[in-house]
Amino acid sequence: MPNDQDELFASVDALLQQAAMQDALPEPAERKRLREAGGLSQDQVAKALSVRRETITSWELGRTEPRPPKRAAYIRLLEGLAERFPTQGTQGSTLPPGAPDACHGPAAAPPPPTPAVAPPSEPGPAPGPVPAHTPVPAARPERPRPSSASRRPTAAKKAPAKKAPAKKPAAAQTTTPTTPPSPADPRFVHGPLAVLDGDGSAYCVDGLVLDCPATTFPALVEWTLREAKLGAPRLHRHGKDADPLVVITAEAAERLGLPQELADRRGLRLPEDHQVVRHLMRAKWRLTRRGFGPWPRIYRPAQGGERQCVQFAILPWGALDTRSWGDSGQLPPAELARVLGSYATRVITPRGSTAVCGLELMTALRPPTRAVRDEVTGSWVSGPNPGALTEAVDPAPPEAPDEHPVVASRYPRHHERGPEQVLDEEAFDWFRPLTDEECAQGYSHGVGIDVNMAFAAAANRLIVGTGPATHVSSPAFDAKLPGSWLVDLSHIDLDPRLPSPFTPKGTRPTGPAWYATSTVAYAVELGASVQPAEAYVRYEHGAYLDAWYTRLRDAYMATMADLGITTGMPDDEFLAAMARHKDRDPGQAAVLSAIKSSVKGGIGKLRERPQGIGYQYGERWPALERPTWSPHIRAELIGKARTNMHRKMRKLASAGVFPVAVLSDCAVYLSHGPGPLDFLPRTEDGKPLPGGFRLGVSPGMVKHEGTQDFLWVASMIEDEQINPARHIKGSDAAAGGE
């Protein structure tokens, strides 16, 4: 027994000595002073300690701390220098006042263990009531820290050196320069995400690097929840905190036992008998329904309102789609952390494709449920959140895609629904033959202009249905009531040099057809008399997308400012800046692309079709169980975007300027010069035509999309029968995610 006790005491003494050594380093500024006083360069110290020079820089700036065994050698060096070059008025130790020493151990007991990240509920259906924030235990007094400026990387392209383990107190994060600073949440002091490299370095936002000792996925999940302090606060008081995101590089994937490529190219997931999946199951962790694919979510059921969930992104498996993120997946870890951190701070922490993020942002800003008090029991229960999409609702028959059960039960399998049976609110895809007058005008170019964030702009102040549809016969049209209306607009006569605003192909309607409220309201604006034969209207409605639009607009404007594009720029300066903005900062250019993809992808998810080879026609599919599966909202928004586009084209037509092609938010005009200023009409005092297209950075304004030779435009239209707006930029707009 005495021997056992001696061994235990020796172990404890070793722990005490190790704990004492954790704070035995002098302040960062003193480290630099001692080195310079000894006439030593950073390269000399780095060579002696077998580290990189950047590591010494990072230690002297306080961004990172040395770890054993380098730590003891570094302390030995500094103690030796301190004996030779003491500060004025002191001798010997360079420890900060009140710090423990290696002999006597720490002066105070260590703090209690850091609690796990505590979001409110398990992934899946609508969350339950959200408890109040748990008070955070007060931290023990800390020695003075370096200023935030001294912790920033000295060069954007340099990978910062390693940071001490995450359980040591770390410096608070600073936000992206264009984002106003806010108090750091103590649970998420290291930011929303980390990019894990093969050597165990976890690169966070703002240049911070943590050391991750985990070599298995169960250990990595535990480390992320217990020590990493990653995550982001909820965007709405009734919502959920964002789960931490860990991005796995190819080298980290190899370290964790993942293959560099998924064998299942159709299902895009690891087989259930793979050792990584088996290890997770053995440790009582679970995977969501999509399994272990490029964006796996690993969780345990919530207990006591405490959420245990980590989101991963596996880079070698294509987690970052090049159509949305460009070449971001090939960036060094530190730079990728900056790019993804910017998106997470301005939009939402990524948890899937940009389409998934766009849809999740809607829910994060308008949570379906909130905590309400039960009047009978007095307890808090989950209740619907006013103004949100609170439950899955079946669409009206004309709003549903062909595979939906409400359609499959009405028509035979291969029945093709006509305009009087299906709502067809889609973006423009129209072009027309050139007139003889246009061919004789001596035009030299075809110039494309593109509306900034056209679909996001259409969401601004748009009233959409938030409840079930009610069928009415022979209703009076009400522009303030969202819904789908069966009405004949074929009698409306427009200039043939303009597309019809009532069909995606721009052709004139031939009879009654279903339209969203936005489209019928535009017909009324044009002076038409409308009398719907029937309608499916939604008496529960509101500006559901307003917060979504505002956040995406702010993210877009902040990112454009980082790229040198701001409001109020003169037209020529704006065009010049736009021509080179993507080269100014490729990382922020990738963020910009992701923001725009989030808008279009999120809108597309509102009408997500069935996926997978196992789907049977007429069956329900998982997306239908989401409150945000709302094809009527998508139709309302696209109808608004299309009529907004037509309104501006009609205004230019009043000045004698007509488009020759339109694709979604891009219009092509013939021009005597290579740029938009050569054809956009102006008033007598030189200002842009009111109500028309205006150059600028704000959503709803336009930029230069591309220019091609006039003969190229004529050939595309007359010979190829291809919409020139699709290729005016020099590439296929659809293939590029436009």
User: Is residue 520 situated within a structural domain?
Assistant: no
| Cα torsion angle, 513, 516, 519, 523, sign | positive
Burial of 443 (0-12, 13-18, 19+ CB in 10 A): buried
- H/E run at residue 689: none
Token code pair at residue 695: 């150059």
User: Is residue 163 situated within a structural domain?
Assistant: yes
Domain of residue 191 covers: 157-352
CA distance 132 to 216: 34
- H/E run at residue 271: none
**What pLDDT score does 141 carry?**
35
Q: What is this structure's pTM? A: 0.77
CA distance 309 to 297: 7
Per the CB < 8 A criterion, the answer to whether 331 and 342 are in contact is no
Decide: helix, strand or coil at residue 539: coil
**What pLDDT score does 117 carry?**
36
* pLDDT digit string, tens, across residues 597-646: 999 999 999 999 998 778 899 999 999 999 999 999 999 999 999 999 99
**What pLDDT score does 16 carry?**
52
CA distance 456 to 452: 9
Alpha-carbon dihedral angle through residues 255, 257, 260, 263, given to the nearest 10 degrees:
180
Between the alpha carbon of residue 301 and those of residues 304, 597, 715, the distances in Å are 10, 32, 61
User: Is residue 198 situated within a structural domain?
Assistant: yes
User: Is residue 322 situated within a structural domain?
Assistant: yes
Per the CB < 8 A criterion, the answer to whether 79 and 72 are in contact is no
CA distance 168 to 12: 20
The DSSP secondary structure of 422-471, one letter per residue, reads: SB-----EEE-PPPHHHHHTT--EEEEEEETTHHHHHHTT--EE-S--EE
Nearest of 429, 382, 453, 407 to residue 617 by alpha carbon = 407
**What pLDDT score does 13 carry?**
56
Amino acid (1-letter code) at residue 732: D
**What pLDDT score does 10 carry?**
59
The number of folded domains in the chain is: 1
* Number of C-beta neighbours around residue 57 at 10 A: 19
At residue 94, does pLDDT exceed 80? no
User: Is residue 288 situated within a structural domain?
Assistant: yes
At residue 736, does pLDDT exceed 60? no
User: Is residue 269 situated within a structural domain?
Assistant: yes
User: Is residue 291 situated within a structural domain?
Assistant: yes
Tell me the sheet residues that pair with 299.
Answer: 286, 309
CA 587 to chain centre: 14
CA 722 to chain centre: 34
Q: Average of pLDDT values for 701-727?
A: 96
Nearest of 225, 292, 287, 217 to residue 256 by alpha carbon = 217
User: Is residue 277 situated within a structural domain?
Assistant: yes
Q: Average of pLDDT values for 680-706?
A: 96
Q: How many residues does the chain have?
A: 738
Backbone angles phi, psi at 398, to 5 degrees: -70, -20
Per the CB < 8 A criterion, the answer to whether 640 and 462 are in contact is yes
Average pLDDT in the chain: 85
Residues of the chain with pLDDT > 70, as a percent, come to 82
**What pLDDT score does 401 carry?**
96
Cis before 627 (ω within 30): no
At residue 287, does pLDDT exceed 80? yes
